[in-house]
Amino acid sequence: MKKIVSLLLAAAMMLMVAGCGGGTEPKSSGSGSGSGAKQMTMGFSQIGAESEWRTANTESIKQAAKDAGVKLIFSDAQQKQENQIKAIRSFIAQGVDIIAFVPIVETGWDTVLKEAKDAKIPVIVVDRDVKLGDDSLYVAKIGTDSVAEGHKVFKWLDEYMTKQHKQPKDGSQFQVAILEGTVGSSPALRRQQGFKDEMAASSNAGKYNIIASQTGEFTRQKGQEVMESFLKSYGNKIDVLFAHNDDMALGAIQAIEAAGMKPGKDITIVSIDGVKGIFQAMIDGKSNCTVECNPLQGPLLMETAKKILAGQKVDKLVYVEEGVFPSDKAAEVLPSRKY
Ligand code: GYE
């Protein structure tokens, strides 16, 4: 009997040691709202409120935390990586159970994520992607596939231009202007890459020329300003506008109208996100297509966090589902849009 008890004790101690041990093992095992379980505290660093999409993303995360009984420490970085790094350090100092963050840019995270790992606090990367020397610095990534979105944009565009029998204004090539997202951010880099790769691989590659490409920082205001400058430089040469997000397209639509042109007709417009504002613009005939990027990531984030803290295995990379919505579907789809 004594022997069995001491064996059990030894096994229990080994488990405890393993629980405090290396790598991505959770620091504590608060599994949330279950009876007697410790409430999970999550430190979450959001990048700001640059777009309609981001507002929906923040609401989804806050609501999901409430629903899951998770205590959320929410920090808004106001578009600055240094503020995110400060926030993550403060989460570590506060001893949160888990950290989640939306990386504003791809690089520059190695040091602070190493600090989280050393403190045995698991990290979930949300929405955007990171580039690290060591991928074990985060446990899971939940988000969207920006390269695939870029592919879908060119594919839709080429099919549309062909079907509509569009002719280049200069008689030789369609001139494409691009409004890029935040410099160094994964959606800006990867959407651009996806679009260009799909174009290069297309048998119609020679029909298109990128005449201008510049950042509009994912905001409506900047999208409008940069489109104004594109129109000043290239007058009525531009056939197509590809905006890395809907908000910049909505700003550009104002600039195009102010220049006395018809958005959606004189210039074919395609953007990414699928927010309500762009559906309305499509219904009004002012834009042509949106490729969906799903911001409703809160429930999956909370579920993943709970699994990690309960010691369950989770997928390293999970993409949420996304569709493509051309303008002829806009009126039918708008009432069911959730963001
Ligand atoms: O498309 C844009 C934004 O990171 C995928 O960020 C996200 C992008 C989204 O603010 O509107």
Distance 54 CA to ligand 1 centre (A): 6
Under 8 Å CB-to-CB from 265, ≥6 apart: which residues?
285
**pLDDT tier at 23, thresholds 50, 70, 90:** very low
- In this predicted structure, the answer to whether residue 176 has a pLDDT above a threshold of 70 is yes
Residues 250 and 262 in one domain: yes
**CA trace torsion 124, 111, 81, 127 (10° rounding):** -20
Q: Supply the pLDDT for residue 28.
A: 46
Task: Give the domain extent around 252.
Answer: 146-293
Q: Supply the pLDDT for residue 9.
A: 42
Residues 287 and 302 in one domain: no
Question: pLDDT per residue over 24-64, tens digit each?
Answer: 444 444 444 444 568 999 999 999 999 999 999 999 999 99
Q: Which amino acid is at 263?
A: P
**pLDDT tier at 260, thresholds 50, 70, 90:** very high
CA–CA separation, 147 and 307 (whole Å): 28
Instruction: Please measure the distance between the N-terminal and C-terminal CA atoms of the chain and give it in whole angstroms.
Output: 63
Query: Is residue 9 a part of any domain in this protein?
Result: no
Query: Is residue 19 a part of any domain in this protein?
Result: no
**pLDDT tier at 94, thresholds 50, 70, 90:** very high
Residues 156 and 287 in one domain: yes
Q: Among the atoms of ligand 1, which is closest to the Cα of residue 275? A: 11
- What's the structural domain count of the chain? 2
Q: Supply the pLDDT for residue 32.
A: 43
- In this predicted structure, the answer to whether residue 320 has a pLDDT above a threshold of 90 is no
Strands laid side by side in the 174-180 sheet: 208-215, 174-180, 240-243, 268-273, 289-292, 324-326
Residues 250 and 158 in one domain: yes
- Taking the complete model, does pTM exceed 0.75, yes or no? yes
Please tell me the least confidently modeled range out of 141-150, 185-194, 323-332: 323-332
Residues 170 and 135 in one domain: no
Please tell me the least confidently modeled range out of 35-39, 108-112, 154-158: 35-39
- In this predicted structure, the answer to whether residue 21 has a pLDDT above a threshold of 90 is no
Query: Is residue 12 a part of any domain in this protein?
Result: no
Query: Is residue 27 a part of any domain in this protein?
Result: no
Residues 215 and 164 in one domain: yes
Q: Supply the pLDDT for residue 31.
A: 43
Q: Supply the pLDDT for residue 36.
A: 52
Query: Is residue 331 a part of any domain in this protein?
Result: no
Give, in degrees to the nearest 5, the angle at Cα 317 between 51 and 145. 45
Pocket of ligand 1 (CB under 6 A): 50-51, 53-54, 127-128, 144, 187, 218, 245, 247, 272-273, 293
Helix (H) or strand (E) holding 240: strand 240-243
Helix (H) or strand (E) holding 319: strand 317-319
Which residue's C-alpha comes closest to atom 8 of ligand 1?
187
Mutation choice for ligand 1 from 45, 46, 51, CB with most ligand atoms inside 8 A: 51
Residues 271 and 151 in one domain: yes
For the chain, percent of residues with pLDDT exceeding 90: 84
- Measured from the Cβ of residue 300, the count of other Cβ atoms closer than 10 Å reads 19
Query: Is residue 14 a part of any domain in this protein?
Result: no
Distance 126 CA to ligand 1 centre (A): 12
Question: pLDDT per residue over 65-92, tens digit each?
Answer: 999 999 999 999 999 999 999 999 999 9
Burial of 328 (0-12, 13-18, 19+ CB in 10 A): exposed
Query: Is residue 26 a part of any domain in this protein?
Result: no
Distance 118 CA to ligand 1 centre (A): 31
Q: Which amino acid is at 39?
A: Q
Residues 99 and 151 in one domain: no
Residues 137 and 179 in one domain: no
Residues 155 and 255 in one domain: yes
Query: Is residue 133 a part of any domain in this protein?
Result: yes
Domain end, chosen from 293, 310, 330, is at: 293
Question: pLDDT per residue over 284-312, tens digit each?
Answer: 999 999 999 999 999 999 999 999 999 99
Residues 163 and 265 in one domain: yes
Distance 53 CA to ligand 1 centre (A): 6
Residues 174 and 71 in one domain: no
The CATH code of the domain that includes 313 is 3.40.50.2300
